[in-house]
Each structure stands twice: as C-alpha cells, then as structure tokens.
C-alpha cells in the first residue's frame, strides 16, 4: 500500500533530531482544514482498494447501515457498508468470517479515524466458503430440516410437474425433452433467476407459490416439483445454499426433487429436498416412469395372467376327470332302481285284483244270506222310527214358536207402558230438550248447553226450536225475531 503523505511544503518538515525552529512565515491551519486535507488526500490515493481480513465486531444499525472491523495478525481497520449497498450483498458478514472487501478509503474527521466504505464483500477463497456452508448445514440439520422422516414419497405417475428454473437456459429444454421421451406429462414452469442478486428469494418464492395453488383450481397444483440448474462454480450455486431456499424446500408439502449442478456438485437444498438428482435430466427420469416399459410390463403381466389361467383350468379339468372316474355309472344306478319300480308295480297290480275279488266274494255271500221277509220287517221298523222322529221334531218346533211369541208379547207390553208414561209426563208440563247440532242428543244437564246453541223442545202437543242464552239460569221464555223461543236469558 502506498504511504500516506500530507500535502504540505517540504520546508515545513523538520528532522527528527533537529530542534524545532520558529518560522513566523509558516501558514496556520485549523483542525478542520487539516482534517479535510487529509481526507482528500486519502480518498484520492485510495479511491478503489481490495482489503482482505477477518470480520470482527459486525453490527447492523437500526438505520440499515452495517458497521464492522477488518483485522489481521497486526492491524485493524474500521469499515462501514451503507444500507443501500448492504441489501445487495451476496454474502452476509459474520464474525470470524474471512472476506475480501472492495471499496474506497476515507476518513471520519469527527473522530480522527480512517475507515473503509464497502461496496462488495466476497469470501476469501473456497476454503472460507466451504467452512461457511458447513456451519450453515450443521445449524439447519440441528433443526431437523434434513431428517429422513421428513422426506416424502414421490408419486408413481404425476399428472402435473412443476419446474423451478431459468426459462432461457438449456435445463428446461432438457427436462421437457426427457419427459417427452419417457412419459409426456403437463409441465408448469415458474421462471426464476438461478444465480446472482435476488436469485435465492425468487427460488424460495416459486416453491412457496406452487404450494399455495389450490387443487382443482384454474391453475392445477403440481403433484411433484423439480428445482433445477445447470453446472457452475461454488459461487454460482450459492443461491441454492441460502437459508431461505433450504427452508422453503423443507416446508414444501409437494414432493420436491433437487437437480442443481452436475453430479459432483452438492448444495444445501439437496439435503432438504425429498430426493436429489445428479442432473436435471436425471430429475425428469425420476419424476416419471418409461411409458413403453409400462406398456411392455403390462403386456407381460397380461400374458402371464392368461398362461396362469390356462394352467389353472387344465389342472382343474384333470382333477375333475379323476373324480369322475371314481363315480359309478349312472345307467347302472338307474337300471336297478327302474327294475325295483317295475317289480313293485306288478305286485301292486296283483294285490289290487286279489283284494277286489275277495270283496266281491264277501258281498255275494252276504247277499245270499239275506231273506225277503226279514228285509220287509227291517224296512217297516225303519219307517216307524222315521215317523216317530218327525213327530218329535214338529212338537219341538211348535214349542219354540210359542216361546218366541210370548217373549214378543211381553216386550210389546212393556213398550206400550213406557210410551204411555212418556206421554203422561209431557201432558203434566215436562219438556224433552234435544241439541240439534249433536244429532238431536237429549240434554240432561244445564251446564252442558253452550251459549247460542240450537235446541229443540218437545212438548205434549208438538216441538219448538229455541236458541240457548248466555247464562245457566232459567228466567223466562222469550220469542226471537224468527219465532223461536229462548229459555235462557243473559244476566
């Protein structure tokens, strides 16, 4: 590094061994003039420098500015990174991290200090970057983001495949070509930047965006995701080592295949993904089976099934034939039974003939033993018994008719007596009250009569229709405008 020189005349310097000399013609500088002279001199000489050192005392202020120190074994220099620059840094500084900072040197007159204004920060060498990634991997693994029990099983034949990659690279073309060869499926591409500033945020947002799609919605939700990128240096693949991408992959509810870089490249998203593919083409092969192989396997299964059924039928046919050989001849079984049936039929016919002959003989013998005189006497006795039975039946019928006639006369007498008593009661001033609405039911209680009910009064010499009043106490007979009489009056 060049030495720092003050912009003062040489005559103003004195040797270290010389005694100070008073020179009244020397110009005087104020503290501010001297400080800003130093500031201009340093900024002119060190307007663009690269400084390598270890980060120490890193602190992010509430304003967004970052303050830190760079140190080595013998010296320390303060550094500051303004907010607008800090949000674009590809590497987030941490204490103990060895970095290479690019910027410009300036002074801070308020404290007589000089400091480095940082424009970019890079890790100092591949070793430091690998150390950072290893520390990050251990920390995320301790949280369980890489646990095997979190891994999801890939669907056998997905209907929709979501791909997160650059739309302009060869990766998407390789994936589409491989899918078309193996088993054409519908592909949804979420275009993202795969390296540089903002790439990690875009990849994480794409994974989360696919997971937010509604199944059966206007945009189909993928059954499987492929996060892919071509090969590159470790610095080129850093977007897939960022914590935001790793957490998004681990939180994905859709099975995810990581296909970042070539076969030897390893990123942290590979640990969080459900499956790692060595290349994007291999990821497409893992996502779907080979259609022709499935057709061939199906044909083979069909052939094996047909052959198995044929063997089964053949075995059953042989077994049935063996069982049939052990059975007796049906003709022999039926022949013996038919012979027994014919024998019994013949024996039955002979027995019926013999039975009829014996009955005929018994009848002839009985007829030969009867005489005409005895037969006439028997007929006469039967006639006498019939005449006696008829006489007894006629006498019984006469007695029954007489009993019924006496019962009817008795009932008619009682009915006449009841009718005369009813008429005599009506003649003495009694009245029969009937409720017309109830089918001319006879009313026996005053409390059962409803107000304004239509009633019929039966007198000795006729009937009169009336309307019941509102009270329950009989006061006098009233005739309505229609000629009806009311026996009840309102109180």
- Is residue 210 located within the same domain as residue 96? no
- Is residue 254 located within the same domain as residue 295? no
Residue 366 lies in a domain: no
* DSSP reduced 3-state for 80: strand
247 CB contacts (<8 Å, ≥6 apart)?
140, 145, 204, 272
- Is residue 305 located within the same domain as residue 243? no
282 CB contacts (<8 Å, ≥6 apart)?
259
100-153 confidence digits (pLDDT tens): 899 989 888 777 788 899 998 887 766 667 777 888 888 898 999 999 899 999
Predicted confidence band at 158 (pLDDT cuts at 50, 70, 90)?
Answer: very high
313-362 confidence digits (pLDDT tens): 999 999 888 887 777 777 776 777 788 888 888 888 888 888 888 888 88
For the domain that residue 196 is a member of, what is the CATH number? 3.40.50.9100
- Is residue 183 located within the same domain as residue 252? yes
Helix axes 170-182, 280-287, angle to 10 degrees: 30
- Tokens 């003939």 identify what position? 353
For the domain that residue 92 is a member of, what is the CATH number? 2.40.50.140
Residue 473 lies in a domain: yes
- Is residue 284 located within the same domain as residue 295? no
At residue 418, the pLDDT reads 61
Residue 31 lies in a domain: yes
Name the DSSP class of 11: G
Residue 235 lies in a domain: yes
Predicted confidence band at 489 (pLDDT cuts at 50, 70, 90)?
Answer: very low
Residue 330 lies in a domain: no
Which of the listed ranges 135-144, 356-365, 409-418, 476-485 does the model predict with the highest average pLDDT? 135-144
**For residue 96, what are the domain limits?**
10-123
- Is residue 23 located within the same domain as residue 96? yes
- Is residue 100 located within the same domain as residue 174? no
Residue 139 lies in a domain: no
- Is residue 279 located within the same domain as residue 299? no
The number of folded domains in the chain is 4
Residue 399 lies in a domain: no
pTM value is 0.46
Sheet of strand 432-435, all strands in order from the earlier edge strand to the far edge: 441-442, 432-435, 454-458, 463-467
83 CB contacts (<8 Å, ≥6 apart)?
63, 64, 65
At residue 420, the pLDDT reads 61
* 8 Å CB contact between 258 and 269: yes
Mean pLDDT of the chain: 81
Query: For residues 419 and 477, which has the higher predicted lDDT (pLDDT)?
Result: 419
- Is residue 165 located within the same domain as residue 233? yes
């Amino acid at each position: 590094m060049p030495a720092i020189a003050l912009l003062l005349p040489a005559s103003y310097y004195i040797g270290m061994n010389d005694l100070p000399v008073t020179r009244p013609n020397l110009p005087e500088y104020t503290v501010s003039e001297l400080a800003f002279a130093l500031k201009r001199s340093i900024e002119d000489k060190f307007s663009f420098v690269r400084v390598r050192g270890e980060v120490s005392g890193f602190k992010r202020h509430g304003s967004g500015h970052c303050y830190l120190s760079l140190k080595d074994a013998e010296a320390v220099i303060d550094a500051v990174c303004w907010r607008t620059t800090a949000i674009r840094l590809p590497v987030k500084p941490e204490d103990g991290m060895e970095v290479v900072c690019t910027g410009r040197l300036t002074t801070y007159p308020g404290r007589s200090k000089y400091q480095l204004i940082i424009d970019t920060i890079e890790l100092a060498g591949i070793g430091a970057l690998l150390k950072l990634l290893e520390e990050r991997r251990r920390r995320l693994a301790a949280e369980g983001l890489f646990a095997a029990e979190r891994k999801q099983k890939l669907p056998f034949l997905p209907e929709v495949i979501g791909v997160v990659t650059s739309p302009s690279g060869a990766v998407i073309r390789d994936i589409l070509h491989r899918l078309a060869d193996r088993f054409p499926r519908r592909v949804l591409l979420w275009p993202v930047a795969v390296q540089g500033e903002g790439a990690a945020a875009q990849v994480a947002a794409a994974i989360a965006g696919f997971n937010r799609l509604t199944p059966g919605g206007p945009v189909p939700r993928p059954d499987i995701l492929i996060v892919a990128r071509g090969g590159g240096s470790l610095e080129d693949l850093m977007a897939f080592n960022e914590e935001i991408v790793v957490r998004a992959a681990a939180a994905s509810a859709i099975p995810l295949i990581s296909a970042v870089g070539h076969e030897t490249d390893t990123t942290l998203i590979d640990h969080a993904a459900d499956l790692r593919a060595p290349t994007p083409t291999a990821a497409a092969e893992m996502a779907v089976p080979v259609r022709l192989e499935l057709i061939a396997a199906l044909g083979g299964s069909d052939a094996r099934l047909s052959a198995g059924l044929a063997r089964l039928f053949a075995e059953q046919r042989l077994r049935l034939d063996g069982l049939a050989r052990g059975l007796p001849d049906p003709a022999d079984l039926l022949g013996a039974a038919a012979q027994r049936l014919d024998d019994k039929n013949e024996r039955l016919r002979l027995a019926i003939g013999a039975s009829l002959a014996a009955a005929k003989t018994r009848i002839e013998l009985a007829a030969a033993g009867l005489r005409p005189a005895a037969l006439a006497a028997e007929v006469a006795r039967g006639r006498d018994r019939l005449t006696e039975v008829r006489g007894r039946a006629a006498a019984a019928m006469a007695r029954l008719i007489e009993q019924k006639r006496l019962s009817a006369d008795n009932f008619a007498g009682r009915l006449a007596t009841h009718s005369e008593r009813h008429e005599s009661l009506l003649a003495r001033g009694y009245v029969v009250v009937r409720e017309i609405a109830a089918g001319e039911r006879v009313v026996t209680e005053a409390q059962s009569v409803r107000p304004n009910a239509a009633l019929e009064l039966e007198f000795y010499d006729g009937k009169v229709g009336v309307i019941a009043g509102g009270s329950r106490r009989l006061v006098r007979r009233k005739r309505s405008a229609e000629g009806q009489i009311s026996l009840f009056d309102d109180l």
